[in-house]
Structure 1
Amino acid sequence: MIIIPWIIWFIFRDRKSSARIFAAGLLLMVLSEVLDIVGVGLGKWVYPVKVIPIATVSFSFRLSLLPVFAMLLIQIKPNLNPFIKAIIFGVFGAYIGLPLLSVIDLYKKIDWSLHYSFIILTIMYLLSHWFSRRKSFHAVD
């Protein structure tokens, strides 16, 4: 779950825009990491299994699957309405990804609704899409 998405992105990335798209993916990684720390800290969900002592299993979901999926959505059909892509991203992340992690006992909701995850993931995609479209990506003089 950590390596394969990045290999897929490396193969299918738009080489002319890869830095810009990667920057949008990094924004999504940072946002998801911060929000995950807040959610775990508030007791909204837990990760029952730790693969390594310092990182939870959700590490691969937050720092690999989500950003790569968003980066691929940003570059595929670039003129498609970003709200449609954001809804697709939110649906896959909240209603497919998180339940799959629950089924294999890697994620456990305590006081949380998947609808909240859908809204947050949808907004996160829209922010990363907006960031990828900024015209401030110029060479440093």
Structure 2
Amino acid sequence: MQYPTYDDVLQARERLRDVSASHWYHEDLGSWQWWFLLLVSIVPWIVWRRYRDRNRSYEILSYGFLWASLATSFDVIGGELLLWGYPDKLLPMVPPMFPADLTVIPVLYMWMYKWASTARKYFIGTLALAFLFSFIIEPVFIFFHMFFLQHWKHIYSFFGFIILSYVVLWIHRKAGGQVSGSFHE
């Protein structure tokens, strides 16, 4: 049995790049989905900037950027493992989940983090956002053919968001990200 060489992998990647770029140009660019992705990539940051807590901007932004990093990493892994996929892209050369992972998820979690002055509020906010993303946003995106599940279920996303929320909080605290003190009960 002959195993694929790196040249075989490179040829497959080149073919995928070409097919993906053609799909983006002919199917995504200018479609309502593309405009929607563009808006959700920009508007949440504008709203966040306008209504942010200026005294805690660095703390909250560092929390959000940690969320963005981990959400992007897990989304890329899930996509590569064909657990889920995104048919539409904002740009042909970046991962298709860019608007969600670098905008919607971190901005909403930053609002929750800003609001969550106690451990109880953080837990409630975490459950609410996990529910929102897993059982409302994901099904809506599936309905509009902007997201599909292949070997994944919404309940996995729900628990994944909860676990990731506490991983992000733990890393953020270990890195000294919470400058305004710990939760108060």
TM (normalized to structure 1)? 0.88
Residue 120 of structure 1: which of 141, 160, 168 is its match? 160
CA displacement, residues 17-39 of structure 1 (integer Å, 9 cap, x when unaligned): 11011001111111111101111
Q: Which runs of 5+ in 1 are unaligned?
A: none
| 2:78 counterpart (19, 33, 39) | 39
CA contact (8 A) 1:29 1:63 kept: yes
- The aligned amino acid for 1:31 is L
Note the alpha carbon deviations across 1:14-70, whole angstroms, 9 max, x for none.
Answer: 111110110011111111111011111111111112232112442111110000000
The match for 2:43 is: 4
Q: 1:130 to 1:67 in 2, by over 3 A?
A: same
What amino acid sits opposite 1:67 in the alignment?
P
Q: Classify 1:108/1:20 alpha carbon distance in 2 versus 1 (closer, same or farther; 3 Å).
A: same
1-structure distance, mates of 2:128, 2:154: 14
- One-letter code of the match for 2:167? L
> CA offset at residue 132 of structure 1?
4.7
Counting matched residue pairs gives 138
Match of 1:66 in 2: 105
Query: 1:102 is matched with which residue?
Result: 142
Q: Larger Rg: 1 or 2?
A: 2
Q: Is the 8 A contact 1:74 1:129 kept in 2?
A: no
* Alignment deviations for residues 77-120 of structure 1 (CA, whole Å, 9 cap, x no partner): 42251221111110011111111211221111111001111111
Q: d(CA) in 2 for partners of 1:131 and 1:16?
A: 21
Per the TM alignment, residue 125 of structure 1 is displaced from its structure 2 partner at its CA by 1.9
Aligned-pair identity in percent equals 27
The whole-number CA distance in structure 1 between the counterparts of 2:42 and 2:149 is: 26
TM-score (norm 2): 0.68
Greater RCO (CA < 8 Å, at least 6 residues apart): 1
Q: Give yes or no for contact 1:45–1:111 (8 Å, CA) kept in 2.
A: yes
Gaps of 5+ in 2: 1-39, 180-185
More helix by share: 2
Give RMSD over aligned pairs: 1.9
Aligned in 2, Cα 1:15/1:108: closer, same or farther, shift over 3 Å? same
